[in-house]
Structure 1
């Protein structure tokens, strides 16, 4: 831990100074020694850091989407140059450069938070050990050691001994209950955040190994945080739980306002836009007009969800314009009605009993045909021979002989008397 602290010592003083400034504000409301004053100071530190990291979060969203789109091309490159790793890497880098994608962008928010996380961890560990650090002097150190959140000191950990917890004026039971609840909440928020991303904001038409990797991370990350959480002080658990909740809310906003093309979130978003257009007759909001503009620019490359949206506008007698607005169009309405009329109708599936009844009726009809043919032949045989020309009789008898199966054409050899 001393090695890690020395690596992040350049940021320990700024982090401790920010906490002290927030503590002055909340201390005036809740009291200097209150756990709420110190806890809210940590929460405010997280909010401040995450606001500063919003540009990196936007890059992360764009990089994640680009990686999803590029997965089929990446897989094709791997298959094509599977025996030439160097050429494979060159083609991958070329693809990233052409599309402006940085695979490391998805990790930027976590990497940017790491120095603050370890700095806060070191500050809280110093408070637990009774050591002054950064902007925290002796008075603030004594105040922080007396601060409790639901009976658990900010510097206490789940794995602390009874003696250490007692020195912080707390009971081991309270510390373990509070830390266990916070660890569960931290892991659950991590799981729900990843699940929200996988179920709502993923292009369902693209099936790649990348999706399976993300699905595995959805289950692995919460377990990792749960195992690591037993070694985190209460103050660090407050920090990490707050940043998870912030990430979940931020991601929910992005999914609702700027969903991934082809995802369930895009379908829900375009349905809301269509409902708004139905009510007001126009596309309201710059973000929505930007989305409609992007759909129009795609042309024939639109996905099924976007085509359904354009068809929905056509049924209203409207057509999407290149600037993201909509205008009345009789052609769009006619196209929508024509497409609906010419839609292929699937035959209704018959029940098993109906299929059996139809089959028996068909078989019966086929069976009556030979009977009818046989009766007709017998009538012809019973008719008087004189009423028919001789040539006709010969042709009829020849046809009857040819109709019999298993006989050869031409004159038949007479049977032996013993076989009669």
Structure 2
């Protein structure tokens, strides 16, 4: 790993181990689990302004759909002119096609840190204390193929599936009448990508995915109302 990336990893490691040490007298071997959930919730709380902005962008884009359709029909034979007109319309309305992606993109650095911290035996020049934490007896540093059949794997898999189902329903509800069959199919399938992702990640990262996707479902439900 490049040296300039070691600083944030070491900083996050010392912060998380300090939090685990503070929680350990009360939580025992579950201290790392609680620390992961707590840190994830804090990060998502900090991203709420981005989520609100993204929801407003999606709502504004939905209101623009009739105009976007008219422009597409009018300039179908001139792709360059269509792109210019679409960019102009989005600039005037203050929205963007990527508005809904802001909270997801902002989480990438945190997700990368979580993966790094729970996939290395050595961090910041010392033995990684975080991977000694466990969930239902399964070490947080283990990957899911090793965990198959354990209570930790089964519980997280079921919960990720339930959250993905609710997420798919929310995404379908956000689509308007102009959505293509492909868009609707993707809205049903993509949320279940968390189950596939978790199969290649440490248990700690699966726990992070469960926490952040649950927050997303609750947050979107509140913002849509």
> Would you call these one fold, judging by a TM-score over 0.5?
yes
The alpha-carbon distance between structure 1 residues 106 and 11, as it changes in their structure 2 partners (threshold 3 A), is: farther
Check if 1:209 corresponds to 2:179.
yes
Rounded Cα–Cα distance in structure 1 between residues aligned with 2:85 and 2:4: 37
Residue matched to 1:38: 32
After superposition, what is the alpha-carbon deviation per residue over 1:358-396, rounded to whole angstroms, capped at 9, x for unaligned? xxxxxxxxxxxxxxxxxxxxxxxxxxxxxxxxxxxxxxx
Is 1:60–1:106's contact at 8 Å kept on the other side of the alignment?
yes
Rounded Cα–Cα distance in structure 1 between residues aligned with 2:103 and 2:159: 21
Rounded Cα–Cα distance in structure 2 between residues aligned with 1:6 and 1:84: 49
Residue matched to 2:99: 105
The alpha-carbon distance between structure 1 residues 15 and 145, as it changes in their structure 2 partners (threshold 3 A), is: closer
Is 1:191–1:218's contact at 8 Å kept on the other side of the alignment?
no
Is 2:164–2:192's contact at 8 Å kept on the other side of the alignment?
no
The alpha-carbon distance between structure 1 residues 108 and 14, as it changes in their structure 2 partners (threshold 3 A), is: farther
Residue matched to 1:77: 71
Residue matched to 1:190: 164
Is 2:20–2:32's contact at 8 Å kept on the other side of the alignment?
yes
Is 1:8–1:115's contact at 8 Å kept on the other side of the alignment?
no
CA RMSD in angstroms, aligned pairs only: 2.5
The alpha-carbon distance between structure 1 residues 239 and 252, as it changes in their structure 2 partners (threshold 3 A), is: same
Which of 15, 18, 41 is 1:21 aligned to?
18
Long gaps (5+) in structure 1: 161-170, 260-420
The alpha-carbon distance between structure 1 residues 9 and 218, as it changes in their structure 2 partners (threshold 3 A), is: farther
Equivalences, count: 225
After superposition, what is the alpha-carbon deviation per residue over 1:282-328, rounded to whole angstroms, capped at 9, x for unaligned? xxxxxxxxxxxxxxxxxxxxxxxxxxxxxxxxxxxxxxxxxxxxxxx
Long gaps (5+) in structure 2: none
Which of 204, 211, 218 is 1:249 aligned to?
218
Check if 1:150 corresponds to 2:136.
yes
Deviation at 1:226?
A: 2.0
| Higher RCO (Cα < 8 Å, 6 or more apart) | 2
Is 1:145–1:154's contact at 8 Å kept on the other side of the alignment?
yes
The alpha-carbon distance between structure 1 residues 70 and 86, as it changes in their structure 2 partners (threshold 3 A), is: same
Structure with higher Rg: it is 1
